[in-house]
C-alpha cells in the first residue's frame, strides 16, 4: 500500500489543488508572530453587526436538523486510546503539538481580540466561553484557560479526558475555568438528548478544533454541529493538514515513517483537506472564512513558524454568519465569500 501510494505521488497521479487560498484573506505576517490585516478586523466588525440580529431571525429547516451521523471513526479512537497516557510527555509522541501552541494560541487569542475587546489585564479572554473539540490531554485547553477563557474540552476517548483532568488538577487556578467531558461534538448538539444538550446550543463564543478534522468520519456533521453550539457571530478555529503531494511526503513519509515524529499510522492522506475544500464545507454550513495562515514545522529545531504557504499545515478562522445558508438562497455572498 505504502510504496504504491508513494509511487503514485511521485508520478504525480494524485490530483492536487493549488496550495494558495483563492478567495480567502491571507493575513500579513509580522516578524515576531501574527499580524492581522485591518481588512480582517473590519470584516469581523461587519460580521458582528450582521450577526447581532440573528437571535430574532426566523428558524428554518437546517437549524432544527436532527444529527444522525457520527463524526467518530472507531479506528481513530483506538489509535488515540493507545496514546492516552502520553499527552504531557513534551519529548514524546505529541511533541509537535506542544510546540504548536507557540503559533495556535496567539492565532486564537488575536482573532478573538479583534472581535471581543479585552478589559481584563493579564486575562485577555476573560468572559469568553470556548469549546475545545478533540482536546486530547488538554494541551491547548489549558493555555486558553490561562488566558482567562472558560473552556470546555471534549474528546470521545475517555482515557484522554482522564489525563486532561488529572493534569489540570495540578493547577488550582485552572480548576474554575477548565472542564472536560468525554463525548463527541454531536452529543452536544443532537436534538432530544436531554437538558444538558439544550444548554450547550448557541452557548459558545468560539469552537476550537486543532489537528482534529483529519481524524473525523464526517466533516459535514462536524461543521453543522459547530454552528449549532456557537453564539451568533461566534468563531471557529481549525488547524489541520492540506491535501497536497508535499503534505503526503512530509506529514506521512517523513514525519511518520522516517523520523517517527508522530506514531506511524496517525494520519490518512485521504482525510487531509485543502483550505479551499474546507472553506466550501464551512460556507455551506453557515460560516464565513476570515483568514487562513500557513504553518511550518522544523523537525530539527522542533519549532513551528508562520509561512505564506498553506501547502502543508494551516490554521483557519471562520465566523458563524447570521443567515442559515439553507434558509436564504438569496443570501448575499458578495461580501461574505470573496474578499481578497
Ligand atoms: C491529533 S489529536 C489533537 C489533540 C488536541 N486537539 C491537540 O491539538 O493537542 C486528535 C484528537 O481528536 C480526537 N478525536 C478523534 N475523533 C474525534 C471526534 N469524532 N470528535 C472529537 N474528537 C475526536 C482524538 O481522540 C484526539 O484526541
pLDDT in tens, 101-156: 999 999 999 999 998 887 788 899 999 999 999 999 999 999 999 999 999 999 99
Residue 325 · residue 331 · CB < 8 Å: yes
CA of 245 to the centre of ligand 1 (A): 24
φ/ψ region of 192 (left if φ > 0, alpha if ψ in -120 to 50, else beta) reads left
CA of 214 to the centre of ligand 1 (A): 9
Residue labelled with grid coordinates 496514546: 83
The pLDDT, as a whole number, for residue 40 is 36
pTM: 0.79
Q: Cα separation of 33 and 115, whole Å?
A: 19
The pLDDT, as a whole number, for residue 335 is 37
**Which of 144, 127, 124, 148 is closest to 135 using CA atoms?**
144
Residue labelled with grid coordinates 492581522: 36
Kindly report, residue by residue over 163-202, the tens digit of the pLDDT.
999 999 999 999 999 999 999 999 998 654 455 555 678 8
Indicate the helix (H) or strand (E) that contains 229. Answer: helix 219-229
Mean pLDDT along residues 49-73: 50
CA of 45 to the centre of ligand 1 (A): 31
Under CATH, which architecture does the 69-320 domain have? 3-Layer(aba) Sandwich (3.40)
Site to probe by mutation for ligand 1, drawn from 85, 153, 155 as the one with most ligand atoms within 8 Å of Cβ, is 155
The pLDDT, as a whole number, for residue 115 is 87
Q: Cα separation of 201 and 230, whole Å?
A: 7
Determine the atom of ligand 1 nearest the C-alpha atom of 72: 19
In 216-300, where do the E strands start and end?
Answer: 230-241, 287-298
Determine the atom of ligand 1 nearest the C-alpha atom of 138: 9
The dihedral of CA 100, 101, 107, 111: what is its sign? positive
Task: Give the β-pairing of 287-298 and 313-320.
Answer: antiparallel
| pLDDT at 3 exceeding the cut of 80 | no
Q: Whose CA is nearest to atom 22 of ligand 1?
A: 134
Q: Residues lining ligand 1, judged by CB closer than 6 Å?
A: 71-72, 76, 80, 97, 133-136, 139-140, 155-157, 160, 184-185, 210-212, 215-216
The pLDDT, as a whole number, for residue 68 is 66
b/e code 139-172 from CB counts within 10 Å (16+ = b): bbbbbbbbbbbbbbbbbbbebbbebbbebbeeee
Domain ranges of the chain: 69-320
Determine the atom of ligand 1 nearest the C-alpha atom of 160: 27
Amino acid at each position: 500500500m505504502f510504496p504504491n501510494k508513494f509511487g503514485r505521488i511521485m508520478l504525480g497521479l494524485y490530483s492536487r489543488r493549488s496550495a494558495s487560498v483563492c478567495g480567502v484573506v491571507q493575513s500579513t505576517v509580522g516578524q515576531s508572530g501574527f499580524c492581522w490585516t485591518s481588512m480582517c478586523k473590519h470584516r469581523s466588525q461587519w460580521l458582528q453587526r450582521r450577526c447581532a440580529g440573528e437571535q430574532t431571525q426566523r428558524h428554518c429547516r437546517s437549524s432544527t436538523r436532527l444529527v444522525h451521523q457520527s463524526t467518530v471513526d472507531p479506528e481513530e479512537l483506538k489509535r488515540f486510546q493507545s496514546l492516552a497516557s502520553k499527552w504531557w510527555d513534551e519529548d514524546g509522541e505529541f511533541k509537535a503539538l506542544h510546540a504548536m501552541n507557540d503559533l495556535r494560541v496567539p492565532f486564537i487569542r488575536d482573532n478573538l481580540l479583534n472581535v471581543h475587546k479585552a478589559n481584563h489585564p493579564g486575562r485577555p479572554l476573560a468572559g469568553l466561553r470556548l469549546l475545545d473539540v478533540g482536546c486530547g490531554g488538554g494541551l491547548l485547553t489549558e493555555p486558553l484557560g490561562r488566558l482567562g477563557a472558560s473552556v470546555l474540552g471534549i474528546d470521545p476517548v475517555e482515557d484522554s479526558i482522564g489525563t486532561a483532568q488529572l493534569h489540570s488538577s495540578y493547577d488550582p487556578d485552572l480548576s474554575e475555568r477548565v472542564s472536560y467531558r468525554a463525548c463527541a461534538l454531536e452529543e452536544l448538539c443532537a436534538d432530544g438528548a436531554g437538558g444538558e444538550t439544550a444548554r450547550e446550543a448557541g452557548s459558545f463564543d468560539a469552537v476550537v478544533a486543532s489537528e482534529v478534522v483529519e481524524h473525523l468520519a464526517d466533516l459535514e456533521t462536524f461543521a453543522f454541529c459547530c454552528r449549532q453550539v456557537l453564539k451568533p457571530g461566534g468563531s471557529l478555529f481549525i488547524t489541520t493538514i492540506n491535501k497536497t503531494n508535499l503534505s503526503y511526503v512530509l506529514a506521512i513519509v517523513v514525519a511518520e515513517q522516517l523520523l517517527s515524529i508522530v506514531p506511524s499510522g496517525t494520519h490518512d492522506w485521504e482525510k487531509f483537506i485543502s483550505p479551499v475544500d474546507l472553506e466550501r464545507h464551512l460556507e455551506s454550513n453557515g460560516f464565513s472564512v476570515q483568514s487562513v495562515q500557513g504553518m511550518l514545522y522544523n523537525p530539527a529545531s522542533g519549532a513551528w513558524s508562520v509561512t505564506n504557504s498553506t501547502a502543508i499545515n494551516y490554521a483557519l478562522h471562520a465566523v458563524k454568519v447570521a443567515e442559515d445558508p439553507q434558509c436564504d438562497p438569496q443570501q448575499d455572498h458578495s461580501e461574505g465569500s470573496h474578499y481578497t
